Amino acid sequence: MIVEDTVAQTLVMYNSVTGFSQTYATWIAEELQAQLLPFDELDSVNLADYDVVIYGAGVRMSRIRGFHTFRKKLATTDGAPAENVIVWANGGTPQHPDRDWKAAAGTFTRRELARGAYKYFYFEGGIRYEGLNKPEYLLLKTFAKRVQKYRDRGEWAAQVADGIVEGYDHTSREAIRPLVEYARQLQTATKS
């Protein structure tokens, strides 16, 4: 993709196991006219070449997949300043202000959280068993059985319990709007 010099160089990197992160990353890259790269190409890219860097991945055990490695690369390559880095996570639970922060709290250091080092967004993805390795597949199936006894803890718990058995896809292009708007502000600010 050819990007004019008047447009901020933007990278969207994603770490996807079951496809939800790749879907969101593709939509974000299209909206922002950004370069799109999978996580396994992290070593081949110089993050300092970009004005805005966006990283997203699925959540596993309340942590954003691969962020620890991404953070190291960002630090060692003198990459985009933290204020120009956007991070998103996607998971199987519906978006809700009381829960959306949990992946950030499990992923970012206390110092990063206290400083608000990275602008963070959460998107609902879904549950897909295809693509999971055997241990993760078995773990998710076990969790699917256990979660049934928590159906009475609210509407979202019942939704998760119903959907986790067979899997579901709740990706929504509309969900990325706040991230895209914020990224456009960064793109404008870095080129002014």
The answer to whether position 94 is within a domain reads yes
Q: Which residues lie closer than 8 Å to 108 by C-beta, 6 or more apart? A: 117, 118, 120
18's tokens: 């079951």
Residues 20 and 26: their CA atoms lie apart, in Å, by: 10
Q: Are residues 37 and 111 in the same domain?
A: yes
**pLDDT tens track for 11-69:** 999 999 888 999 999 999 999 999 999 999 999 999 989 999 999 999 887 889 999 99
Domain count, the chain: 2
The answer to whether position 148 is within a domain reads yes
Q: Are residues 159 and 120 in the same domain?
A: no
**pLDDT tens track for 113-166:** 888 889 999 998 887 777 777 887 787 778 778 878 888 888 877 877 777 777
Q: What is the pTM of this model?
A: 0.82
The answer to whether position 3 is within a domain reads no
Helices vs strands, H then E, count in the chain: 7, 8
Q: What is the pLDDT of residue 2?
A: 42
Q: Are residues 66 and 120 in the same domain?
A: yes
Local structure of residue 53 (DSSP, 8 states): E
Q: Are residues 176 and 161 in the same domain?
A: no
Local structure of residue 183 (DSSP, 8 states): H
Q: Are residues 48 and 90 in the same domain?
A: yes
Q: Which domain holds residue 147?
A: 132-166
Q: Are residues 138 and 118 in the same domain?
A: no
Q: What is the pLDDT of residue 22?
A: 95
Q: Are residues 105 and 84 in the same domain?
A: yes
- Three-class DSSP category at 154: coil
Residue 179: which CATH number? 3.40.50.360
Q: Are residues 179 and 153 in the same domain?
A: no
Q: What is the pLDDT of residue 96?
A: 72
- Three-class DSSP category at 170: coil
Q: Which residues lie closer than 8 Å to 133 by C-beta, 6 or more apart? A: none
Q: Are residues 175 and 145 in the same domain?
A: no
